Structure 1
């Protein structure tokens, strides 16, 4: 049986955050982004291995990951998302690899399980999660990667045994706040903080 690996992409410069802190090491509710995502993926029970793709851009992230249990690092050049991802996928073949950005700190165990339920039996080289553009905008967020009325979440399940040449993705829509809120800016972090605070307020009915 082909192994299933979770790969968290942590090698970018994260310039839109306008912070000296590496984006995966940004704190939300007392935990780092990378830490929150790791806990969700571990808790899902769906992965044989969980890796963080790091680069010279993210030395603090590399050190943190290596100090924790249950998460491995894999080095990239930090040459760009697509190039780094292609290099890593070749190294991990022939596994199935769930690629997850490091800017989804609202990810939960239940959402991670739902993602795999929807993607793992699609049977194509690349199956991705998309969110309706209007859903993202209703959160007060400006979508970054759009096509038509959809936004790419950055989450894709690759069957590396089938990945050859140009890859055409299949998309499954999941309008979930935990997926729609990619935290790339200070404003988006503020939105994430308000949602976490709201979720902890048992008297509120407008939370996650």
Structure 2
């Protein structure tokens, strides 16, 4: 299985002076925390970070640290992910680069959910998010439960031809290590207050 960290966004929901979320630190730069957690899980034959023209500083800093990057066109998360999946084989563990509480233990647990499904996305319930003081604008209803995407999926790249035609399976897992996704200044402030 390959680990793929999506790190090519503009960070437009963050209003910090720094141009990218890469520069945000919790215990260390969050993008490094995510990549280190993937490596420390020992679940992946290779770990890559996807970057784009939207995130030149991210690409530079990752490469300075010896992390292999894959270039995308910066045409949005779905388009960039589709572009990369077309070039990959086997199962790919896709994760957002802004999950500050992610650790190797939860990654190992998520990998155990791998099945023969083409696409499995991990969700957390809206109720659980609210209990953490978090909110999401991107919700999906699954098994009569309103849920938010965590930014983590396991995808069989061999079976992906067009993302528009993929049936997505879901797993609801209410765990703050995957629920806490830094999207806004408020999220960052909440992280630092906990």
Q: Give the match for residue 177 of structure 2.
A: 178
User: Which structure 2 residues correspond to residues 118-129 of structure 1 after superposition, within 5 A?
Assistant: 118=113, 120=114, 122-129=115-122
The higher relative CO (CA closer than 8 Å, separation ≥ 6) is in 2
Offset at residue 194 of structure 1 (A): 2.7
User: Which structure 2 residues correspond to residues 28-39 of structure 1 after superposition, within 5 A?
Assistant: 28-29=26-27, 31-39=28-36
TM-score, reference length from structure 2: 0.92
Offset at residue 95 of structure 1 (A): 2.3
Separation in structure 2 between the aligned mates of residue 113 and residue 66 of structure 1, nearest angstrom: 26
Q: Name stretches of at least 5 consecutive residues in structure 1 with no aligned partner.
A: 196-208
TM-score, reference length from structure 1: 0.86
Q: Name stretches of at least 5 consecutive residues in structure 2 with no aligned partner.
A: none
User: Which structure 2 residues correspond to residues 115-194 of structure 1 after superposition, within 5 A?
Assistant: 115-118=110-113, 120=114, 122-148=115-141, 149-165=146-162, 166-194=165-193
Cα RMSD, aligned residues only: 1.2
Q: What whole-Å deviation, never above 9, does each CA across 1:58-114 have from its counterpart, x for those lacking one? A: 111111111123x3100011111111110011111x221111011111101111111
1:63 counterpart SS class? helix
User: Which structure 2 residues correspond to residues 1-208 of structure 1 after superposition, within 5 A?
Assistant: 4-21=1-18, 22-29=20-27, 31-69=28-66, 71-92=67-88, 94-118=89-113, 120=114, 122-148=115-141, 149-165=146-162, 166-195=165-194
Aligned residues: 187
Most deviating of 171-180 and 159-168: 159-168
Separation in structure 1 between the aligned mates of residue 48 and residue 16 of structure 2, nearest angstrom: 24
Offset at residue 144 of structure 1 (A): 2.8
